[in-house]
Amino acid sequence: MDLGLAVDDSHPPYTVLAVKGEVDVYTAPRLREKLVELVSQGKHQIIVDLEGVDFLDSTGLGVLVGGLKRLRSHDGDLGLVCTQQRILKVFEITGLTKVFAIHDSVEAAAAR
């Protein structure tokens, strides 16, 4: 039930954070901590890869919104990678597909 969080710097200027597992009120704080840590290390172009995520609830959405806000305040950005229908659906219902750039692959996200 632990959240996997893997950082990959091989797509400069982007930092890819691959998330694995279930993002809920129990695990979301770890995702938030990791985002805060990356930003404090000066990483302001972040791609969050959600392909390994089995479950994402509103707490997880909130952390991503907070991350995007924080990065924007540093003139940065937070892009998402997600092709799973059940995860995309959560963004659609909440209208957040209009807030986030959602890509089909890390490569597509890094090719902006």
Partner 1 sequence: MEMILELEIPASPEYIAIARLVVSSIVSSRRNLPDDRIDDLKLAVSEACTNAIEAYGPNLAEDGAGERVRILVQDDDEKLEVDVADSGPGFDPDDLPTHPPVTDPERLNFERGLGIPLIRTLVDDVQFVSSPGGTSVRMTVYGEPLELHPPEEFEPEGFGPGDFGPEGTDVEGSG
Q: Residue 10 or 42: which CB sits closer to partner 1?
A: 42
Is 83 a binding residue for partner 1 by CB under 8 A? The answer is no
Could you give the angle at the alpha carbon of 76 between the alpha carbons of 51 and 3, nearest 5°?
A: 30
- Look at the alpha carbons of 77, 83, 85, 86 in this order and tell me if their dihedral is positive or negative: negative
For residue 43, CA distances in Å to 6, 15, 24 come to 15, 7, 25
Is 108 a binding residue for partner 1 by CB under 8 A? The answer is no
- Note the residues at the interface with partner 1 (CB under 8 A): 1, 22, 24-26, 28-30, 32-33, 35-37, 39-40, 55, 57-59, 61-63, 65-70, 72-73, 85-86, 89-90, 93-96, 98-99
